[in-house]
Structures are given as structure tokens and as C-alpha cells.
Amino acid sequence: MTRSRRWRLATASRGAALLVFLLPPLAVRAQSGPTIDRRVLDNGLEVIVVPSGSTPLVTVELVVRNGAFTQVTEAEEGLPHLLEHMVFKARTDLPTRASDLDASYNGVTDTDAVAYYMTVPARRLDDAVELMADLAMDPEFRPEHLDTERQVVEDEIRRVSTDPYEVFQFYQGIYLWRDAAGRKNPLGSLVTLAAVTAGQLTEYYRRFYIPNNAALVVSGAVEPEDAFESARRRFGDWKRGPDPLDALPLPPIAPLASDTVFVVPHEASDITFSVAWHGPSASDSETAVLADVLMASANASWGAIQRELVDSGLFTAVSFSYQQHRDTGPMSIMARTTPEQLPDAARRLQEVLASLAHPDFIADEDVIAAKASLRVGRAFLFERTASVAHQVAAHWSNRNLGFFEGYEAAVESVTPEAVRAFMVEYLGHGPRVVGVLLSEETIQAYREPILRSLEGWIRP
């Protein structure tokens, strides 16, 4: 029943294409910020309530700072993900109780957190909070359940390993994160899964699953006081413990030392060309919002980058992405082209990347339109109860909830000059990981053009 939010073979983080709403910028007015109520229970559990949406539903989400970033040794790679599965498995009455509540529920393991959530009719708020507390507090991990869930997770990894695009991103992640690759791998490794015991999982659970390392997010048709009272009643007996992150050795992720180029064979008629590099950390709110504005412009059909790369006919599709991680978010370009176009397309992509530092490449009106599309997307977000909870949980987990609260004002304050300065800093000159996904037949038939397309990506 559970899934990993980022489906990974071993290390890579997928960039999600940013949803852009193509409305005239002058027709969109700035939205006021969300009303967020936050309180901390005596045991350290932070309760965050966000009234949102127009339907009589609430989403209750428990988020724990136990994502892939806590995997500091190879023996821990995949433990957060497997533990997520085991927490669900331990609550054998969950399907029946959830059905009685008309609830939909799931769990996710991400780079920065593990989260459990359910959406119910608003009148069942207290029942949902009670079920969430029963789910997360003191589960019993049985060896027979471990055998079952270990196989489920192993099958998930094997399925991903048959997807050439996932394999492609696996190698991209290896080169992008180097020694820190395990800290960007929510899915896990087969080696770790084969060795873990129920006792080890219990110890791991007790280390991270404590109220002062967790938050309860409630969004939707909810009165804040009702949510706070329900949280106090249902979670008040959860015992706090030593902060697991205080003792966790988390050295900064080392910057890339040089450019890297890799090629992955794959049976397909087209060619996928990718460029990835290190972006800002989530804690750098001012820079992260600049990345969002740039991504909105880069992925919009009216933007300069799409005009240069797609409208020219060199690429059939181009998408930019940036993910907020507590430590060094990945940025990437994923572009598709044909074997015949590859040399010219790759050369033009190099030229565009070099041009991003030019003050005239992104026009003022492109930045204004990108800001408008982000504001509209934000307004739509607050009509989706579960999406609000997921966003709040994600920002809480990387210690940047203030970014979510002040997002509208932050977007509004972005200037074209600031976006251009961001482009120079993060897209202009730093090392990159460049990958090509194409078939063996294409390699044989277009060997010389392929070699030409790779020229110039390794820089002195």
C-alpha cells in the first residue's frame, strides 16, 4: 500500500516538470499568504494546521525527519523506506478502520522525510488523528511481516531497475552526489534489505520515531482548535527522546570537482540528453524562490529557453527541474532529440547554457509571466487538501516552513536582475554531469555524430 515518493534504483533524484498555468500575467493578482497555525505539544510534537480547500475533507499527515539524508552508512540505505512499509504492516486493523472512515491513505519516503497521510470527511477528523497515532506509536515489527515487506521493497527496486530512464537517473545520481549518493537514495539497496532484522528495525524506529522529531499536519475544512485538541488527546502520551539529528554526522555535500559525461544504452528510437548540477539548499529561501521563478520561465512554452531549444526543432521536448533538499538540491535539464539532430542539438544546448549568464537572455516580461504562473499555481494548490499537507510536511522536514508561509511575498519581490544573477551563479560556470540515453543501434549507426555531440562538455 505504501510507495516511495521518489522512485529510485539507488541514488538518483527525479526532477518533476513544473506545472505552469498560461494565463496573462496582468490578469492575475497576488494571493494572500495561507493562514497557518502552529503549536508544539509538551512532548515536542509540532502540530501545524492549514485551513484550505472548499470541499468538506481533511488530510492528516504525520511526517518524520527520517528520509534518505539520515542514511549515513551503507548499512542504513533503505531502512527509512522499509520502516515505512513495516509501520503500515504492524497495524493489521488499518484497512478495516480506514474503510470505516471512508479514508484514502498512503505513505511516502523521500530525501528529507518519511510521511504517512490519510484524507477523510471533515467530520471524521478526530478518528483520523486517532488512527494516525495508533499507526505511528509503538508498532510491533514481526519477523514474518519483515519477510513479506522485504520482498515487496525488493520487487520495487527490481521493477525500477528494468526502467531504462530510472537506470539513467541512477547513474546520473551516482556522478552527481559521489560519496553522498546514499543520502539521496530513498528507495534503498538490495544488500541492506537482505541483511536487516526485525530487531534492527525496532531500534531504528525508536531512534527516529519520537514526537520531537515529527510533526502532525492537518489541512482542509478544519477548525484549528479542533485539530490541536485532537492532537493533544491522541498524541500526548507519545514519549519524547534524544534528538536523533544532534548526533547524526551530516557533513556538507562536497561540490562537484569536474565535469562528467556518461552514456547509457537503451532500446528507443529517440535520444535523451541530460545535464545536471548542484543547486541551492532549501535553507536558502531567497535563492530557492529564484530557482522556482527560473524553472517556471524555462518550462513555459512562451519562455526564451523553449523558443531556443524546442521551437527551433532541435529538441522535441525540454524540461528544467529544481528540487528543494535540506542540503544541496539537484537542478537538471532533460531534453529529447533524434539521432539526426543530436550534434546540432547538443551544440545548441551548450550555447544556450553559456548564454544564460547574458543579461538579455531572459527578458523582463518572461520573469513577470513566470511569477504570475507561480501565483496561479499556488492558488490552485490550496484547493487540493492533500497537496497542501504534502507541501507543508516537505517544507517542515527540511526546516524551511517559513518559505512556504511567505511564498507569495517572496515571489512578488523577485526581480529580473535577481533571476539573472541566480543564473550566473548556478547555471553559468560550475561543473555538470552530462548523460546520453540511446540505443545500441543508434550508437553503431551514428558513432561519429554522437562523438561530436559530446565534444566540449568536459571543460578544463
| Cell numbers describing residue 80 | 527509512
pLDDT value, residue 11: 28
Q: How confident is the model over 320-337, as pLDDT tens digits?
A: 999 999 999 999 999 999
What's residue 2's pLDDT? Answer: 43
Residue 360: its pLDDT value, please?
A: 77
| Domain(s) of CATH 3.30.830.10: residues in the chain | 25-235, 260-453
Q: Within 13 Å, how many C-alpha atoms sit on residue 346's CB side?
A: 23
Residue 231: name the closest of 92, 390, 243, 223 by CA: 223
- Mean pLDDT, 10 residues at a time, the chain of 460 residues: 36 30 34 78 97 92 96 92 96 95 96 97 98 94 93 93 90 94 92 92 96 97 97 97 92 92 88 94 89 93 90 95 93 94 92 81 91 92 90 91 89 94 84 93 90 85
- Asked if residues 143 and 123 have their Cβ atoms less than 8 Å apart, the reply is no
Closest C-alpha among 117, 158, 99 to residue 389: 117
Buried b (16+ CB within 10 A) or exposed e, 228-243: bebbbebbeebeebee
Separation CA 199–CA 79 (nearest Å): 12
Specify the pLDDT at position 181: 94
Tens digits of per-residue pLDDT, 2-51?
444 332 232 223 333 333 333 333 333 334 556 899 999 999 999 999 99
Distances (CA, A) of 302 to 228, 308, 369, 379, 445: 45, 11, 9, 21, 35
Give the model's pLDDT for residue 287: 92
pLDDT of residue 33: 54
Give me the residue label for grid cell 525508536: 206
CATH number (3.30.830.10, 3.40.30.10, 3.40.50.2000, 3.40.1130.10) of 260-453 reads 3.30.830.10
Q: How far apart are CA 224 and CA 36, in angstroms?
A: 9
- Note the pLDDT of residue 32: 52
- pLDDT score at 425: 87
- pTM, full prediction: 0.88
Q: What is the mean pLDDT of the chain?
A: 88
Res 200: pLDDT: 92
Query: Alpha-carbon distance 265 to 382, whole Å?
Result: 42
What's the CA gap between 412 and 406, in Å, rounded?
10
pLDDT value of position 7: 28
Q: What pLDDT is stored for residue 10 in this prediction? A: 29
pLDDT at 302: 86
CATH superfamily assigned to domain 25-235: Metalloenzyme, LuxS/M16 peptidase-like (3.30.830.10)
What pLDDT, on the 0 to 100 scale, is given for residue 428? 67
Select from 134, 142, 136, 114 the least CA-distant residue to 199.
142
